[in-house]
Structure 1
Amino acid sequence: MARSASSRAGDIRAAALELFTRLGYEATTMADIGAAVGIRGPSLYKHVASKQELLAQIMTSTMEGLLAAHLAAVATTEDPTERLRRAAEAHVRYHARHRLEAFVGNREIRGLVEPHRGEVLALRAEYEACFRELVNAGISAGRFGVGSARLASYAILDLGMGVAVWFREDGELTEDTVVWQHGEFALRIVGVKA
């Protein structure tokens, strides 16, 4: 039974993601990707334009996923403390569930060329700005005691990116425990006032 084009594209993307994680973007060839999905290198171009296009798709969809998770997390409350907690929790949960995407997104930015690099960097800046706005809102409301909203947002973002490195589903801590605890850490970073 023939595979649908969208299913084949998903298989190709998944293979590229695994290979970029294991070998690195530069060391991975289109032939490697084709072999991983059972397609000869030249036939692969019927499904994907280039290795660069695959990297751009992975990195763009990762940032779009993070932004969507963030917006959903903060949409149901106006309380600055709760909004920051929920945003941090969504950030950590995404990284726990999408470790390979996070790894490639952090390590392989250097492999992107324009216009892809600029697009991904703009999405990253937008995402960081979302956290900075939350911190600034808490400062303005007198709820957070932190000197630099930018530095606090970077620290909170680093929490999630670190989870992508060490978290495992079969590890000592459950995803929910890790997510909840990192929400607490985020509030400590901004110096939540009682």
Structure 2
Amino acid sequence: MSRADDIRAAALELFTSHGYGATTMADIGAAVGIRGPSLYKHVASKQDLLVQIMTGTMQNLLALHRAAIDTTNDPTERLRRATEAHVRYHARHRLEAFVGNREIRSLEEPHRSDVLAIRAQYEAGFRDLINTGIAAGRFTVTSARMASYAILDLGMGVAVWFREDGELTEDVVAWDYGEFALRIVGAVT
């Protein structure tokens, strides 16, 4: 891992445990063994770290979504696979999910608008899948937008409770949440 990666990882841990506002650059520097002023040789600002974390998270989610739906043209399977990718990401990246949901208010403009635009694009991807399924007579839900929000909320919730050493495996959770998503849209089999 590079020094920049170490710094980003330390910032992520601190933003999660203390919050963005309560974390100082000195805290981040101490976590990686760099004195506060020297940290600026590696990163522009605390805001820059938050932007990197939040933008990176959303770009990763978009890429995983695209990869999942590119594997089939079947509306039901596309929604299942997109949901499974969403759930797996949140199971594996709990800290990013936590910071992404809690610290959007801490982003300064234009970064807040940029991250919100990527989030809207991500949600629209789910909504498009649902609308395609409705048009094909495969889904019976009345509001694609509300269904997409519900599916996204399900996946984000996994970040709160899922543990690798817990009772349920990631595969079981991803499969079951895929089933939940199909029930939300009233999938016709």
Instruction: Please classify the TM superposition score into its range, dividing by the shorter chain length.
Output: over 0.9
1:52 aligns with 2:43: no
Q: Could you tell me which of 155, 159, 162 is aligned with 1:160?
A: 155
1:20-35 → structure 2 map (5 Å cutoff): 20-35=15-30
User: Which residue is 1:76 aligned to?
Assistant: 71
Q: Which runs of 4+ in 1 moved over 6 A?
A: none
In 1, Cα distance between the equivalents of 2:161 and 2:119? 22
Q: Kindly report the root-mean-square deviation, in angstroms, between the aligned alpha carbons of the 2 structures.
A: 0.6
Q: Which amino acid aligns with 2:130?
A: V
Unaligned runs of 5+ in 2: none
Number of residue pairs the alignment of both structures matches = 189
Partner of 1:183: 178
Give 2:172's aligned amino acid: T
Q: How do 1:85-164 residues align onto structure 2 when only pairs under 5 Å count?
A: 85-164=80-159
Measured in 1, the distance between the counterparts of 2:145 and 2:107 equals 25
Q: Percent identity?
A: 80
Does 2:8 correspond to 1:13? Answer: yes
Q: Could you state the TM-score of these two structures normalised by the residue count of structure 1?
A: 0.97
Aligned to 1:3: none
Residue 76 of structure 1: how far off its partner (Å): 1.4
User: How many angstroms apart in 2 are the aligned matches of 1:100 and 1:76?
Assistant: 28
Q: Aligned partners of 2:159, 2:140: CA distance in 1, in Å?
A: 28
Output one character per residue of 1:23-59: Cα deviation in whole Å (capped at 9) or x when no partner. Answer: 0000000000000000000000000000000000000
In the TM superposition, residue 115 of structure 1 has moved relative to its aligned partner by 1.2
SS of equivalent residue, structure 2 residue 79: helix
1:173 paired to 2:168: yes
3-state DSSP of counterpart to 1:28? coil
Inter-partner Cα distance in structure 2 for 1:11 and 1:154? 33
Gaps of 5+ in 1: 1-5
TM-score when normalising by structure 2: 0.99
